[in-house]
Amino acid sequence: MNNNSNRNDNGRGEPRTRAALKTILVQPPPAQAVQSYFTFHKGDGLGDKPPQGIMSLATYLISKGFKDTSCFDAQLDDLSPEETARQVATLKPDVVGITAWTDFWYSAWKTAKEVRRLLPDCTIILGGPHCSVFPEESLEYSEADYLIVGDGEDTLHDLLLALVGGRRPDDLPGLWQCDNGRPVQPTQKIAMVNDITALPVVDRLLLPYRRYTSVLSDKEFETTMITSRGCPYKCVFCKMDVQKVYARKPEQVVDEFRKIAELGITDVQIYDDTFTWGKQRVIDICEGILDNKINVRWAIRDRANRADPEVYELMKRAGCYRIHYGVETGSPQVLKESGKFMTLEQAESAIAIAKETGFQTMAYYMFGFLDETHEDALQTIDFSIKLDTDYAVYAVLIPYPGTAIYDRALERGIIPVDHWRDFTKNPVADYRIPHVIENILDRDTLIGLKNLGLRKYYFRPKQIFREVRKVGSFRELVRKGKMAFHVANDSLKLAPRLPIS
């Protein structure tokens, strides 16, 4: 538990200038992460993605005068939490911010614990998706002084202003803090950035951008981009706090593409939940890229019910080369209950349009929805082969905290205990997920279906020939060879036996 509450309760601290406040924002290491056994894990040759969250925060703080702000990405060197803390401590920061995803909660928690041991007077701030689900527990059972729920830019800025002045922060949106050792909930539960168009373009020089790669890219290095936040939908397996979309202006997105190209990066993965929310906005972005002759390849995530031949054609001309779709299931009934608000016919049509336009296509599928039958699951495999995208990803659905499917499974007793809350209070390394949705199909069957999907899809002569034909270099051949090995190995694994709790 947090034993440092008095330090942030009384606002003690010497006043200093913004530029003199040394802040490090940390992407925790993947070491000792949650072990699902259902999907690939670190080390499988998939590459690393630049952490947009901490880069956006750092860029914003620097623009506001906090010049001594930097980023530290522990995933690049596969550091342990202890190694991460030691390297951060050598830089002697005044403030350390750590982002926490559920899969990496242990490493975030352990990193904070080690930073506290090495730097007793350092201010530690937590943020990220896991903290937004269990803010009280994440703050109370960690060494953090503060915790931010939601978009961190404005609230983190105002918190640092308070630290600069040596005073207790106000009741800020999304900011949890301690009062006599107890976490206090803010009046406004979620912080939202006041104006996303006011945020500066992410500074990719904050991290060694040339070290980020992907197995799916034939380029030496790539980067990520986020042009909008939020989603109006509420899929049962997704945790989304903001049920609306707020997007950056087309000219801002074009300017970011230009700056990326100037760095020599030619591959961009856009991580918007859906890139095509506004048709005119997409058209303006594409025309801006073409008018400025920006030579960058990019990939997007799209919803099948938004596929538009006119927009797709323009996107292709502007350098978009791959579209990712969350199809999830081949069962009409399961799809109806999933909260995606789309149909199988729309998925089939969207992928057909994408193929006709010349895009690479990638689709994602899951097994383990509530009340899903064996017949439903086999329909998913058959439908995935029918769609015949360039890539298909199969997984067992993990009911994460904060999702509707997790809450419903708890209500129905399918998941007997709130194990994610317990994990938050008592994090352990290499945590094995004890419960998935097993009211009809058990764990062994679900994993077997996932593996069956992999085998039937990727061991087809058609698929093998397609991948061999696309190899453009020896480096790419080695990278995809490793990926193929892991696909084959994963598809033949037996389901792990875990104790029932």
What is the reported pLDDT for 6? Answer: 42
* Model confidence pLDDT, tens digit, residues 329-349: 999 999 999 999 999 999 999
Number of compact structural domains in the chain: 2
Does 94 share its domain with 147? Answer: yes
* Model confidence pLDDT, tens digit, residues 178-237: 988 899 999 999 999 988 999 999 999 999 998 887 656 555 678 999 999 988 888 999
What is the reported pLDDT for 484? Answer: 52
Which tops the pLDDT comparison, 290 or 496?
290
Does 343 share its domain with 466? Answer: yes
What is the reported pLDDT for 482? Answer: 52
Question: Which residues fall within 8 angstroms of residue 33, CB to CB, at 6 or more apart?
Answer: 41, 42, 103, 104, 106, 107, 430
Of 434, 431, 450, 432, which Cα lies nearest the Cα of 393? 450
pLDDT at residue 115 is higher than 80: yes
Does 217 share its domain with 124? Answer: no
- Structure tokens of 8? 């942030």
What is the reported pLDDT for 358? Answer: 97
What's 69's domain CATH number?
3.40.50.280
Does 226 share its domain with 111? Answer: no
Does 469 share its domain with 383? Answer: yes
Q: Does 146 fall in a domain?
A: yes
Q: Does 424 fall in a domain?
A: no
What is the reported pLDDT for 10? Answer: 38
Q: Does 191 fall in a domain?
A: no
Does 351 share its domain with 264? Answer: yes
With the C-alpha atoms ordered 155, 161, 166, 170, is the resulting torsion angle positive or negative? negative
What is the reported pLDDT for 251? Answer: 97
What's 225's domain CATH number?
3.20.20.70
Band (168; pLDDT cuts 50, 70, 90): very high
Q: Does 318 fall in a domain?
A: yes
Does 178 share its domain with 213? Answer: no
Task: Measure the CA dihedral 486/488/489/493, to 10°.
Answer: 130
Does 114 share its domain with 162? Answer: yes
Q: Does 426 fall in a domain?
A: no
Give the domain extent around 242.
208-398+436-491
Does 290 share its domain with 380? Answer: yes
Model-level pTM greater than 0.75?
Answer: yes
C-alpha span between 476 and 307 (Å, rounded): 30
* Model confidence pLDDT, tens digit, residues 366-408: 999 999 999 999 999 999 999 999 999 999 999 999 999 999 9
* Model confidence pLDDT, tens digit, residues 29-83: 988 999 876 654 444 445 688 999 999 999 999 999 999 999 999 999 999 999 9
Boundary (domain end) residue, out of 169, 184, 199: 184
Q: Does 330 fall in a domain?
A: yes
pLDDT at residue 125 is higher than 90: yes
Of 285, 290, 292, which Cα lies nearest the Cα of 300? 285
Percent of the chain's residues with pLDDT above 70? 86
Task: Measure the CA dihedral 203/206/209/212, to 10°.
Answer: -110
What is the reported pLDDT for 194? Answer: 81
What is the reported pLDDT for 463? Answer: 75
Does 35 share its domain with 150? Answer: yes
**Mean pLDDT throughout 313-330?**
98
What is the reported pLDDT for 118? Answer: 98
Q: Does 93 fall in a domain?
A: yes
* Encoded amino acid at 345, one letter: E
Among the ranges given (197-206, 318-327, 456-465), the one the predictor scored with the smallest mean pLDDT:
456-465
Does 248 share its domain with 315? Answer: yes
* Model confidence pLDDT, tens digit, residues 228-286: 998 888 899 998 777 688 999 999 999 999 999 999 999 999 999 999 999 999 999 99
Does 245 share its domain with 172? Answer: no
Check: CB of residue 237 under 8 Å from CB of residue 247.
no
pLDDT at residue 12 is higher than 60: no
What is the reported pLDDT for 212? Answer: 86
Boundary (domain end) residue, out of 184, 199, 223: 184
* Neighbouring-strand partners of residue 123: 95
Q: For the chain, give the mean pLDDT.
A: 89
pLDDT at residue 497 is higher than 60: no
Check: CB of residue 50 under 8 Å from CB of residue 208.
no
Q: Does 332 fall in a domain?
A: yes
* Encoded amino acid at 429, one letter: A
